[in-house]
Amino acid sequence: MKLLLENAHIEGIRYYEIYRKHGGYRAAEKALKMAPDEIVEEVKKSGLRGRGGAGFPAGMKWSFLAKPEGVPRHLVCNADESEPGTFKDRYLMEFLPHLLIEGLLISSFALGSNLTFIYIRGEYAWIVDVLEQAIAEAKTNGWLGKNIQGTGFDCEIHVQRGAGAYICGEETALLESLEGKRGNPRIKPPFPAVQGLWLRPTVVNNVETLAAVVPIMNIGGEAYSKIGVGRSTGTKLISACGNINKPGVYEIEMNLSVEEFIYSDEYCSGIPKGKKLKACIPGGSSVPIVPANLLFKTAKGETRYMNYESLSDGGFATGTMMGSGGFIVLDEDQCVVRHTMTLARFYNHESCGQCSPCREGTGWMYKILKNIEYGKGKMSDIDLLWDIQGKIEGNTICPLGDAAAWPVAAAIRHFRDEFEWHVTHPEEAQTRNYGLAHYAEPLSTVTV
């Protein structure tokens, strides 16, 4: 079943007239005739969980919004899609911008936000033009601005470009940047629902989460909750990439098995050249890597499904996370040490530097991993890496520290023998083909 991408194939669907012709703004018509609290209740009934990574129930988050007398409230759409391996929000905004605008309108009405923002990743420059055109079309046709469709509700939506900082995907850093300040995360509490943008009550939701409000209003929260399984309700967009035959954005029901997703012709269509599966990072670069033997079966031997509960079954000792749905597949030729080093370099570069465990620890992990990868590592470095990541996790203001620690911890937990092989075979590690060997620096030129 497709709820978000049902009309994605229609030529010109990004334009208002075509979108409207195919049922666009029908959900908004329905919502504007309801009381705001009724819309919140429908979202609660749906069981919709935040699609940005945390998976927190959206309706519950909305219900936390403070409503002090005379104080404006705001909705902010987090379109700062900077998680490596994730590109499904880009797809929605580029090809179905009015779906997002409609979701924003309904959500703004439910939350009482007359001034709503889309904070978009700086590198998505061309999508800013797409969104602003869609906003202009919606305004021309009476869906934004003053007295929307004669209801007396006013709402303006503005697009704000970020400067390309991964940290601004964290909601409080995003708000700081939106206010014109450096994108440093805030200490919580107070939470944005109480003091957010300009210290006003604010809800921050991901692009996919807000787009999902449209089908929820169309079919009803109860019907939406029956799609999927357990607390993983509705459909989920997956950004599939890596060593697969058909990379792309797929909309799945969350009762689909991981094995079927990778090997079915409907989805990823298997691994190129018949190579074996080595591992997968199923939720974007920040979630734990899972080896092939644990990817299809849980710790209890049950089938692992593409949903929040099944992927995390057994905790981080054997499981991982649904995260943002950035599904990265690694075949048998890929080097886990090299990939872990690349991720450590990324998180070191993107750390805002506010918390010392993250500021110092991410750089330290990267240097050690670089030593191991380039033949200058020691066996004691592996245990040192384990110790450093453990001291970062849970000791920072925002989750970036956890995001840097989890990939390292999982790589050592599941592929320690590969780290040890790099230490005992430094020259061979450089010449062995891991699929990325053309990027390798000669040992004589490496500076660490």
pLDDT tens per residue across span 1-10: 899 999 999 9
Percent of the chain with pLDDT over 70: 96
pLDDT digits (tens, 9 = 90+) for 169-218: 999 999 999 999 999 999 999 999 999 999 999 999 999 999 999 999 99
CA distance 174 to 329: 30
Asked whether residue 125 carries a pLDDT value surpassing 80, the answer given is yes
pLDDT exceeds cutoff 90 at 433: no
Residue 50 or 315, more confident: 50
352, 173 in Cβ contact below 8 A?
yes
Distance of CA 230 to the CA centre of its chain: 21
| Alpha carbon distance 181, 92 (integer Å) | 28
The confidence score (pLDDT) of residue 301 equals 83
Percent of the chain with pLDDT over 90: 88
Domains and CATH numbers, the chain: 16-226 (3.40.50.11540), 233-331 (3.10.20.600), 336-445 (1.20.1440.230)
Pairing relationship of beta strands 235-242 and 202-206 according to DSSP bridges: unpaired
C-beta of residue 39 within 8 angstroms of C-beta of residue 106 = yes
pLDDT tens digits, 290-312: 999 999 988 778 899 999 999 98
CB 369 within 8 A of CB 337: yes
pTM, to two decimals = 0.92
215-248 pLDDT, tens digit per residue, is 999 999 999 999 999 999 999 999 999 999 999 9
The dihedral region occupied by 33, where left means phi > 0, alpha psi between -120 and 50, and beta the remainder, is alpha
Number of neighbours of residue 265 by Cβ within 10 angstroms? 9
What's the pLDDT band for 316 if we cut at 50, 70, 90?
Answer: confident
Strand partners, 284: 282
CB 175 within 8 A of CB 196: yes
Q: What is the mean pLDDT of residues 53-62?
A: 91
CA atoms of 198 and 176, how far apart (whole Å): 9
Q: How far apart are CA 23 and CA 2, in angstroms?
A: 14
pLDDT higher than 50, residue 166? yes
Residue-level pLDDT at 432: 60
**Is pLDDT of 437 > 90?**
no
Question: How many Cα atoms within 13 Å fall on the side-chain side of residue 425?
Answer: 11
Q: In the predicted model, what is the mean pLDDT of the chain? A: 93
pLDDT, position 336: 95
In this model, does residue 444 exceed pLDDT 60? no
The band of 439, judged by pLDDT with boundaries at 50, 70 and 90, is very low
pLDDT tens, 11-21? 999 999 999 99
